[in-house]
């Protein structure tokens, strides 16, 4: 089935999320929709899937104009979607999830689970997925859950399949497998829309590429285009894809972590006997698929975790058991992984956010009163220094773009006297321009002789920043390897396999 979008326009108040976007996807073709976060890709797909109503424009299937008032209509017309955040009910089984919404029933509305199981087995065998129809979805690994999403779409005879940022949660190996599945589906005649911002994947699998920037189609590209060309199209200017840095000039051991074990209130172990050391002036990057203990590691370093055993020594001083205030005062800077939840107070101004973790004494507070003048002068300086694009220092941070919000967090943390910087997902959901800037700041921090711990689930970022790479899997250290370790080796390590010759 051929899918065509004609002049789709979608506005949210004054913001034009999609501005006359046109796109055609042929059967048996993988059409890549490339764009930065916030470029309008997901909005476009939500229009296609009936979750949003377009303000202008048409959706055509095989030349017929169609109108979808909800996802039910879109699915009935043969459009399936694999969502970035899986739309699966965690406590249901695979079969129940697949049948939901188009349940086969026996007399009196009784569910026909046998029919659903058979359907899951049939589709899963066709593509070699090996899905157990009776497994509970929450017990399955993320990669397998994604297959459940694919089976769900296929069980409704989808002829157009939309993959919305499908690789964000996958290991490199799982990503390769997904690519193979996409090719297999294409060869079976399915029209595939693949939404991503990762250049490597686009070039590997796309038959055609459409680039979107700020809600508009800015061009088409061939899969043979180079990374630099694609990045320039996506961002609108030439971009430096690599981080320029000198070899590290390392000093003494600064952060020494030994036997670190973190459990949650339910007794589940998230970090299991972790040992590592970071020297002054060195970046240790932590690689691994999301949810393998990275969050707990960074939070334990700052004192945010409750059940911590083992030792964290910074310049010889023990940090375990001390309050967050104490830890911050001993010179630990922390860029949390979710700026909206842990990094900023959205309704506060930029200036107020810049003093969030310095609200106890001078220079911003004297005798319990906030020193407005000192704060505003400081905020104005940081705004220029860190290139935060905002109307002024009194703008609420919630009104800023992701990249500018993140720069506010980085500015706040780096403007203290640091002895250690912990950066969790420093560029998640940030535009390419801001990524460049933040990376430069992190490297500058390292060059000032400060030990830096960077956690990222993007292997590209890990490789770009690291002096050494530590791979975490299920809360344990698989190995600590040099920054020039081949990607496929890192990928394997992220699945828990330790290459010979690598010591833990």
Partner 1 sequence: MSQTVTPASVPEAAEPVRIAVVSAKTTVVLAVLTLALAAAVGLAAQSGDTSFRLAVPTDVVRLPTVSVPSTATAWIVVVLMAVATAESLRRYLARRPTPLWLVALFAVVGLVGFLAWAAAGGTIPVIGLLAGSLLLAVPLVFGALGGVLGERVGVVNIAIDGQLLLGAFAAAVVASLTGSAWVGVVAAMAAGALVALVLGVFAIRYFVDQVIVGVVLNVLIVGVTSFLFSQVLTENTESLNTPPRLSAVAVPLLGDIPVVGPILFRQSPLVYLLYMTVAVVTYALYRTKWGLRVRAVGEHPKAADTVGIDVIRTRFTTILIAGAVAGAGGAFYTLVSVPAFNREMTGGAGYIALAAVIFGKWDPIRSTLAALLFGFASNLQGVLSVLGSPVPSQFMLMLPYVVTIFAVAGLVGRSRPPAAAGLPYRKG
Summarize as ranges the residues that interact with partner 1 (CB under 8 A).
46, 49, 51-52, 70-73, 75-76, 81, 83, 86-92, 96, 99-103, 105, 108-111, 152, 263, 265-269, 272, 473-476, 478, 482, 484-486, 489, 492, 496-502, 504
When the beta carbons of 269 and 356 are compared against partner 1, the nearer one is 269
Residues facing residue 424 across a β-bridge: 455
**Least separation in angstroms between CB 174 and partner 1:** 17
When the beta carbons of 20 and 498 are compared against partner 1, the nearer one is 498
**Least separation in angstroms between CB 488 and partner 1:** 8
When the beta carbons of 266 and 391 are compared against partner 1, the nearer one is 266
**Least separation in angstroms between CB 7 and partner 1:** 22
**Least separation in angstroms between CB 494 and partner 1:** 12
Q: Please list, in sequence order, all residues whose beta carbon lies within 8 angstroms of the beta carbon of residue 471, skipping any fewer than 6 positions away.
A: 286, 287, 288, 477, 478, 479, 480, 481, 490, 493, 494
**Least separation in angstroms between CB 479 and partner 1:** 8
When the beta carbons of 328 and 478 are compared against partner 1, the nearer one is 478
When the beta carbons of 118 and 418 are compared against partner 1, the nearer one is 118
When the beta carbons of 65 and 482 are compared against partner 1, the nearer one is 482
**Which backbone phi and psi does 62 adopt, to 5 degrees?**
50, 40
Pick from 164, 181, 176, 180: which is nearest to 33 by CA?
A: 164
Residue 433, CB half-sphere, CA atoms under 13 Å: how many? 14
When the beta carbons of 73 and 207 are compared against partner 1, the nearer one is 73
When the beta carbons of 126 and 309 are compared against partner 1, the nearer one is 309
Residues facing residue 481 across a β-bridge: 469
**Least separation in angstroms between CB 153 and partner 1:** 10
The DSSP output letter for 140 is S
**Least separation in angstroms between CB 24 and partner 1:** 24
**Least separation in angstroms between CB 274 and partner 1:** 12
Q: Please list, in sequence order, all residues whose beta carbon lies within 8 angstroms of the beta carbon of residue 458, skipping any fewer than 6 positions away.
A: 427
**Span between the terminal Cα atoms of the chain, in Å:** 51
357 class by beta-carbon count within 10 Å (0-12 exposed, 13-18 middle, 19+ buried): middle
Q: Which helix (H) or strand (E) holds 438?
A: helix 432-447
Tell me the C-alpha distance between 457 and 494, whole Å. 10
Q: Which two tokens stand for residue 198?
A: 């990762």
Q: Give DSSP secondary structure letters for 8-52.
A: EEEEETTEEEEEEEEEEE-TTEEEEEEE-TTSSHHHHHHHHTTSS
46, 153, 274, 304, 348 from 162: Cα distances, Å: 10, 10, 40, 39, 38
When the beta carbons of 50 and 303 are compared against partner 1, the nearer one is 50
When the beta carbons of 101 and 189 are compared against partner 1, the nearer one is 101
Tell me the C-alpha distance between 295 and 360, whole Å. 27
**Least separation in angstroms between CB 129 and partner 1:** 19
Alpha helices, DSSP H only, in 321-428? 324-329, 350-354, 372-385, 402-414
49, 50, 65, 278 from 68: Cα distances, Å: 7, 5, 10, 55
**Least separation in angstroms between CB 273 and partner 1:** 10
**Least separation in angstroms between CB 497 and partner 1:** 6
When the beta carbons of 109 and 316 are compared against partner 1, the nearer one is 109
Q: Is the peptide bond before 88 cis (omega within 30 degrees of 0)?
A: no
């Amino acid at each position: 089935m051929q899918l065509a979008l004609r002049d789709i326009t979608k506005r949210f108040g004054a913001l034009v999320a999609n501005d006359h976007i046109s796109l055609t996807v042929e059967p048996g073709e993988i059409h890549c929709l490339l764009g930065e976060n916030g470029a309008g890709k997901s909005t476009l797909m939500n229009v296609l899937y009936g979750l949003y109503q377009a303000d202008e424009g048409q959706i055509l299937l095989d030349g017929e104009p169609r109108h979808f008032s909800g996802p039910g209509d879109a699915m009935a017309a043969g459009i399936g979607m694999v969502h970035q955040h899986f739309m699966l009910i965690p406590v249901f089984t695979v079969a129940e999830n697949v049948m939901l919404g188009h349940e086969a029933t026996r007399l009196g509305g009784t569910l026909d689970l046998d029919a659903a199981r058979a359907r899951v087995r049939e589709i899963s065998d066709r593509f070699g997925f090996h899905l157990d129809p009776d497994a509970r979805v929450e017990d399955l690994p993320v990669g397998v859950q994604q297959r459940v999403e694919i089976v769900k779409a296929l069980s409704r005879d989808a002829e157009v399949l939309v993959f919305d940022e499908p690789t964000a949660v996958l290991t490199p190996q799982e990503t390769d497998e997904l690519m193979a599945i996409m090719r297999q589906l294409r060869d079976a005649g399915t029209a595939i829309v693949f939404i991503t911002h990762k250049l490597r994947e686009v070039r590997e699998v796309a038959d055609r590429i459409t680039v979107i920037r700020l809600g508009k189609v800015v061009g088409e590209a061939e899969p043979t285009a180079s990374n630099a060309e694609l990045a320039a199209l996506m961002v609108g200017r030439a971009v430096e894809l690599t981080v320029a840095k000198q070899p590290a000039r390392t000093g003494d051991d600064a952060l020494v972590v030994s036997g670190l074990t973190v459990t949650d209130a339910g007794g589940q172990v998230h970090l299991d006997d972790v040992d590592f050391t970071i020297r002054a002036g060195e970046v240790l990057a932590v690689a691994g698929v999301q949810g393998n203990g990275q969050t707990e590691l960074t939070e334990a370093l700052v004192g945010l975790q409750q059940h911590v055993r083992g030792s964290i020594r910074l310049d010889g001083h023990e940090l375990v058991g001390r309050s967050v205030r104490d830890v911050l005062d001993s010179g630990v800077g922390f860029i949390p992984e979710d700026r909206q939840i842990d990094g900023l107070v959205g309704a506060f101004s930029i200036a107020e956010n810049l003093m969030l973790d310095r609200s106890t004494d001078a220079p911003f507070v004297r005798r319990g009163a906030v020193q407005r003048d000192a704060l505003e002068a400081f905020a104005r300086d940081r705004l220029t220094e860190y290139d935060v694009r905002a109307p002024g220092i009194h703008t609420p941070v919630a009104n800023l773009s992701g990249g500018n919000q993140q720069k506010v967090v980085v500015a706040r943390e780096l403007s203290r006297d640091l002895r250690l910087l912990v950066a969790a997902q420093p560029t998640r959901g940030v535009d390419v321009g801001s990524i460049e800037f933040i990376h430069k700041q992190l490297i500058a921090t390292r060059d000032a002789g400060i030990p830096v711990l960077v956690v990222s689930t993007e292997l590209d970022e890990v490789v770009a920043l690291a002096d050494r790479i530590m791979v975490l899997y299920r809360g344990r250290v698989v190995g600590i390897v040099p920054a020039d370790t081949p990607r496929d080796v890192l990928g394997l390590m992220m699945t828990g396999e330790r290459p010979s010759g690598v010591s833990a």
